[in-house]
Structure 1
Amino acid sequence: MKTLTDKQRRLWEFILGYYEEYSQFPSYADMQEEFGYSSSNSIYQHLASLEKKNYLTKHSRGNYDIHPTKRSQLEGFYPGIPVKGRIAAGGMHEAISENLGHLPVEIYPEKSDHYFALIVDGESMIEADIRDGDYIIIDPREPSDGEIGAILYDGETTLKTIRKKPDGITLQPENPAFEPIHITPGEWERVQVFGTFVGKAWKKGGNWGLIFRSG
């Protein structure tokens, strides 16, 4: 803690306490109110300093998390897997980018800390045992042929099995009630890949667990 200024240290201690009480990172409004700042600029500067000193890690614009090397200071609490939004498993719908907290589960080994979760909207993937309201775990890498990918296409999101063919890509639903989506090679450049489905979280009796896709 000697590497922090007094203001940085107080903010760091507030973040730790907030995590332990609410299981998620405090909002800018929470931090402004706690320290009486009239704008978020001072908070932003302190967070940037904490990131440079490896107390925090930045996972998207303006969004931070506890750095893996500092999690021991949470007195055994692991913040969990960040829930970054919702994904359509049905017709494609407008992307939703949110900070929806964390799933209170831990993935080993540490190299998997980059995984994140999305909430499923729709029933197009039920034969892959992915249902409306499920929390799915995403590895931020491009899916191989036959894997399930989370993608953004023309400003809309979808979750589908990826079928790579000579004439392009097919986004294949796992429900016969839904039609596949065909994307030509020229259109593929308009696709942003969020990642590959690797498992999902489930809750039973008040406890959370993980199940990973085999193969």
Structure 2
Amino acid sequence: MDHAQLTRKQKEFFDFITDYKMEYDVWPTYREISDQFNYKSPNSVTQNIQALLKKGYLIKGEDEEYDIHPEYGEVLDDKKSTGIPVKGLIAAGYLQEAVESDLGEITLETLFPNIESLFALRVSGMSMKDAGIYDGDFVLLMDSDVKDGDIGAVLFNGETSLKKIYYGKNGLRLEPANSEFSDIIVEPDIFEEVRIIGKYIGHVNKNGIHRAVPARKAS
């Protein structure tokens, strides 16, 4: 690739955003980039992106969003794996001879047998931080019934919210997992406008996959 050479800091910036894109298939947010490099202002993110565009490592698409230059994109595609290789057996009882063999891969279908019913949304905000769900995480949702006390995604009045859902004779109570936020009460007169769009089964962030903890019923 005959592009202008990057400075050390530009290369670190480029490696971070491309590695993130390769792992999550989306770009990191400005906040995530700023946290990674301790930037005080989002302008620093913009300046680095502009430098990479000028040097040909990034390009602008039809929608004016930046993307990896096709030549570098091919290198990233070669690095991608469809799953986690299973390289053999290991004893969990008595010691036994190590056996190496190709036993296939652990794929998303292995981790989530009902993957056809799953979808993901990206979290914006900190109202569920005490449940371990932070701004920028990807919540995994299943199109299934949400029981009392489960975390779910709710659509009402044209807005979405991720909360613990409790059913009552007077409607719904949407409870945050952060004491800085108040419950949201959905009264009967607008109950018909409410739609539960998915049950939370886990979330994904740079630390890995986190499965939902079974809900406890409200006392």
Q: Which TM-score band (shorter chain)?
A: 0.3 to 0.5
- What is the TM-score when the length of structure 2 is the normalising length? 0.47
Larger Cα-atom Rg = 2
Instruction: Pick the structure with more strand per residue.
Output: 1
